[in-house]
Structure 1
Amino acid sequence: MKSPKEFKGVFLHRDPVDMRKAINGLSVIVQEAGMGDLMGPYLFVFCGKRRDVMKVLYFDRSGFALWQKRLEKDKFPWPKKSSVENVQLSTEQFTWLLEGYDVWKMKPHAELKFEKVC
């Protein structure tokens, strides 16, 4: 798979997907769910009910590519309480997700704004 840094963004389909689906079936999901430009520089990420398999679909200059990762013991953290069907991640968050970090529980420091410095 190409480096995630080569893509503009990552679209994650929140609902479980039948992991028997291949390029054509996943492409239909991308189009029907309005996940983004199917042939653009984006990664489209899917997971099954058991959350032990992740599939990543992308267009690579001359055709579609499909990448799969299967975990032997763990499960992928996945958004549960999101009100949107498609979740957008940064490429950095996607890399963390592949490593097993729950990017939905990770919170940065609050941004502070000052009127004046004392």
Structure 2
Amino acid sequence: MSDSVPETEIPDPRIPDPRIPDAGIPDAGIPGEATEAVAEAEAELAVEPEYDPAAPAPLNIPRIPTGNADVDAQLERLGDADHLATDGHIEVYEDVHRGLRDALTALDARPGPPAPPPTYGSRS
């Protein structure tokens, strides 16, 4: 008896194995010629997805006027984000935030001439 291991034959991938059932793979036919099934499969793969979650999409949120022109202008600026991909929103949001902060700061400013400084400890 011999302890030799029988050599296993490596199958040729170009020759179909009769032990494996046909999995519905279309016959390629003549090399270089695509069958109808192959053409349909390629067409399905080439179709772009209808919905891309990262694509720009308007939120369609109504913007109600506040009565303050500066604030209303900043709220309208938010609409610019509707036409940008999500990675572009941060720039618009930061710009609007700066504008709203400036508008609120301006509301704190007193109109007219500044008030006289308070006097402490003065006696008349």
TM-score, structure 1 normalization: 0.20
Considering Cα pairs closer than 8 Å and 6+ residues apart, tell me whether 1 or 2 has the greater RCO.
Answer: 1
Higher percent of residues as helix: 2
TM-score, structure 2 normalization: 0.20
Higher percent of residues as strand: 1
The structure having more radius of gyration, on CA atoms, is 2
